[in-house]
Amino acid sequence: MAAALRTTPLARSIHTGTTPKLSGGYGHENDYMHAKHMYNITEMKNRKLKFGTAMVAFLTIGYGTPIVAVLWQQHKASG
């Protein structure tokens, strides 16, 4: 019983799974460095259609979710 009480405490530390490379990252930044056309938005095909569709979707979800939640609560409270 006394031997169990004399155990050494374990050291706790926070560490990542891999060590950083000498280039300053974890070895995956080359995927982003070599993507030449990633941020070329002005030459995107159907840009107005894609961004317009995205904006309509964002606004529909942003305004529609609270409206549906209020209607659902009112429906549950009335019944």
**What was the pLDDT predicted at 41?**
84
Q: What is the pLDDT of residue 44?
A: 86
The answer to whether residue 70 is domain-embedded is yes
- 40 vs 55, which has greater pLDDT? 55
> pLDDT tier at 15 (50, 70, 90 boundaries)?
low
| Domain assignment of residue 12, yes or no | no
pTM score over 0.75: no
CA distance linking residue 59 with residue 9, whole number of Å: 55
In angstroms, the Cα distances linking 66 to 44, 52, 56, 57, 75 are: 33, 22, 16, 15, 14
**Tokens read off for 77:** 């409270």
Q: Does a structural domain hold residue 63?
A: yes
Q: If you count them, how many residues does the chain have? A: 79
Decide if 67 is inside a domain.
Answer: yes
Residue tagged 């209607």 (tokens) = 71
pLDDT at 28 over 90: no
Residue 71's domain comprises: 45-79
Residue 2 lies in a domain: no
Whether residue 38 lies inside any domain: the answer is no
Q: Is residue 8 part of a domain?
A: no
How many domains is the chain built from? 1
Q: What percent of the chain has pLDDT over 70?
A: 53
For residue 40, tell me if it sits in a domain.
no
